Structure 1
Amino acid sequence: MEDWRRIDIDAFDPDSGRLVPEDLAPPNLKSVNAGEIESKISQLRSAATSGDFATALQLVTNEPPYSADEVTKSRYFEAVLSALTQVRQAEIANLVKQLSPAQTDVLIKYLYKGMSVPEGQKQGGILLSWFEKVTQNTGVAPVVRYLSDRRTV
């Protein structure tokens, strides 16, 4: 016992090592099914193709599918990325000003996800423009909240 700092205390705990990703998920997430997401995707695409980007951005940032499975999240993200990249550079600042702080946090999550996947990296300039306008409008607070939030989009 003279080298007590090297004792693995987890070996003595019968419940250690049984942590699964579901245990790390925040509580009280509203469960969504694929049908709800598909209808939201169709609304998002129709708003974006008609040029109503304010409505599209509201759809994107209100109630994101945190509790959906990864396949559903990726399908929704493709629609979000498509909507974000259709907006002209001059309109981005006005759209960002219309968002609440909670909506800005969700937008930052989608921007970071977009910059981390190859599909989004192809549109990197547009996503960086969105990021620039958000940080000019709100500062770095949404980035800090993104880094500390366990919910993923």
Structure 2
Amino acid sequence: MEDWRRIDIDAFDPESGRLTALDLIPPYVQSTNPQVVQQQISQLKSFATSGDIASAIQLLTSDPPYGADDSTKSLYFRAVLETLTQVRQADIANVVKQLQPQQQDVLIKYLYKGMSIPEGQRQGGILLAWFEKLTQVAGVQPVMHYLTDRRTV
């Protein structure tokens, strides 16, 4: 066994200057161009206004902007929140059943993000309805993936 008294704990201290924010980004996350995200938002809004909510949910969960900066992510999240609140509660289960497991994982990330910020807490009832239907359809697997995935929406 390695001598635990010889471990350099300063190497793990975030204030030591050795660890930067870029070190915390998972290696598999590509940076996202804000113009591409803006195009996705406009396409998402066009689906939502035309009444094709299933396609809008498919789009928002298929390619989330993991590598975007915080302002772009918050802009995208507002569009996601608008889309989620336009769905009638009776239709939520049907929309969730159409999603692939990876898309369900992304959806649960947006639900948790919505419940953690004031903008989403105002829409708490609809987000909880989405959460309920998602866990009824997919079980707790998306929750477990949310807890273990380092990528954030």
RMSD in angstroms over aligned alpha carbons?
2.0
Tell me the equivalent position of 2:23. Answer: 23
Tell me the equivalent position of 1:149. Answer: 149
How much does 1:10 deviate? 3.0
Equivalent AA in structure 2 for residue 78 of structure 1? R
TM superposition outliers: structure 1 runs of 4+ over 6 Å: 4-8
Percent of aligned positions with the same letter in both sequences? 63
Is 1:9 the equivalent of 2:8?
yes
| 1:8-39 residue CA offsets vs partner (Å, 9 max, x unmatched) | 8335x6x9831122212111223211100111
In 2, the alpha carbon distance for the partners of 1:63 and 1:143 equals 19
Where structure 1 has 5 or more consecutive residues not aligned to the other structure, the ranges are: none
In 2, the alpha carbon distance for the partners of 1:69 and 1:35 equals 12
**Residue 40 of structure 1 aligns to a residue in which SS?**
helix
In 1, the alpha carbon distance for the partners of 2:137 and 2:146 equals 16
Query: Aligned pair count?
Result: 148
Q: Equivalent residues in 2 for 1:4-153 (5 A)?
A: 9-11=8-10, 17=16, 18-153=18-153
In 1, the alpha carbon distance for the partners of 2:82 and 2:127 equals 11
In 2, the alpha carbon distance for the partners of 1:122 and 1:21 equals 31
How much does 1:7 deviate? 7.8
| 1:40-78 residue CA offsets vs partner (Å, 9 max, x unmatched) | 000001111111011100111011000000000000000
Where structure 2 has 5 or more consecutive residues not aligned to the other structure, the ranges are: none
In 2, the alpha carbon distance for the partners of 1:30 and 1:98 equals 27
**Contact in 1 for aligned 2:29/2:151 (Cα 8 Å):** no
In 2, the alpha carbon distance for the partners of 1:48 and 1:87 equals 9
TM-score, normalisation: structure 2: 0.90
